[in-house]
Amino acid sequence: MAGILSLQYKQTPGNKKANILKVSQMLKENTDKTPDLVILPEFFSTGICDEMYTTPEPSDGGETVAAIAELAKQYKTNIISGTVIEKDGDKLYNTMFVLDRNGKVVGKYRKIHLFAYMGGTEDKALTAGNEEVVLDLDFARIGLSICFDIRYPLHHRKLAQAGAEIIVSPSAFSYPASLSDEDKAAFVNTWRALNVTRATENLVYFVTSNLFGKSYPYLYSIGNSMISDPWGRILADAKEEETAIYADISLLAGRDIRKVYPACNIS
């Protein structure tokens, strides 16, 4: 069995110190659990704000990722450090850093599918990544996805075909506050359906860690972080709360399912 912990919280826009402290506090509140992997949201240290572009981190993750590395060592767990805006040369990327139990950066993934719809301007400020990433951690093979990637099934199929047993998706999935109540409900339903679909179509555990609450003057992050299993069962569901969700998952069961039902062999 492996323990998975996903954090969902309201960010303090632009305040890295406060947001990292929130992560530290939530981990402290969950010391009764024994996670092998902790997942933080997209933009976990800044929220969605103008400052995330004006104060990017260097290509090693800078002080922000270093702070999360200390938490990985303290709690002896692997951590998906959400995403930070990373500057490499004259380009900015939306980048996920992966830390092992010793606090070492063992890999990173630059978001491929940038959000450029419904007022989104990621493509104006950022450069898209160009490489899918699957990493071997000490307990499982992990595929990396970020937020809007969830709408691209072939991205996740490539991760599964590369051997991913768990796919993680730090997110800041948000809707414009101007949407009607009916459209807001449909937006949330779509997100929840995509979580389950990405799990069951690829026969993997699919884990999201989403921001929650008002995240910009005109945006609302919907929360609803989930841990879904290869059969499409929702093992843990944060709904619309500031909370941490946890599940013990059976990697052996997942491997057995893929032997019996080799869906990922189909392109």
The domains found in the chain, sorted by start residue, are 2-260 (3.60.110.10)
AA identity, residue 13: P
How sure is the predictor about 218, in pLDDT bands with cuts at 50, 70 and 90?
Answer: confident
Give the mean pLDDT of 212-236. Answer: 92
CA-CA-CA-CA dihedral for 203, 207, 213, 215, to nearest 10: -100
Average pLDDT, the chain: 94
User: Which residue's entry shows tokens 């009764």?
Assistant: 32
State yes or no: pLDDT of 79 exceeds 80.
yes
Tell me the whole-structure pTM to 2 decimals: 0.96
CA dist 56 and 182 (Å) reads 37
- Residue among 1, 2, 7 nearest 23 (CA): 7
pLDDT value at 120 more than 80: no
Contact indicator for 82, 45 with CB cutoff of 8 Å: yes
72-76, 136-140, 177-181, 246-250: which has the minimum mean pLDDT?
Answer: 177-181
In this predicted structure, what is the pLDDT of residue 118? 62
Helix (H) or strand (E) holding 64: helix 62-75
Is pLDDT of 3 > 60? Answer: yes
Closest CA to 153 of 123, 117, 95, 196: 196
pLDDT at 18: 96
Beta strand 84-88 pairing with 91-99? antiparallel
With a cut of 70, say whether residue 266 has pLDDT above it.
no
CB-count exposure of residue 227 (10 Å: 0-12, 13-18, 19+): buried
- Give the span between the Cα atoms of 193 and 151, in whole angstroms: 11
What pLDDT is stored for residue 158 in this prediction? Answer: 95
> What is the CB neighbour count within 10 angstroms for residue 106?
15
CA 111 – CA 145 distance, rounded (Å): 7
Q: Residue 78: name the closest of 140, 157, 164 by CA.
A: 140
In angstroms, rounded to a whole number, what is the distance separating the alpha carbons of residues 237 and 224?
A: 6
Mean pLDDT in residue range 232-238: 97
Q: Who contacts 208 (Cβ-Cβ below 8 Å, separation ≥6)?
A: 6, 39, 150, 168, 169, 170, 171, 173, 195, 224, 225, 226
Residue-wise pLDDT for 6-48, tens only, equals: 999 999 998 999 999 999 999 999 999 999 999 999 999 999 8
| pLDDT band, very low/low/confident/very high, at 217 (cuts 50, 70, 90) | confident
- Distance from the Cα of residue 155 to its chain's centroid: 15
Comparing C-alpha atoms, which of 72, 65, 122 is closest to residue 97? 65
Pairwise CA distance, residues 50 & 195, whole Å: 28
Under 8 Å CB-to-CB from 41, ≥6 apart: which residues?
Answer: 7, 8, 9, 11, 82, 170, 171, 172, 209, 210, 211, 225
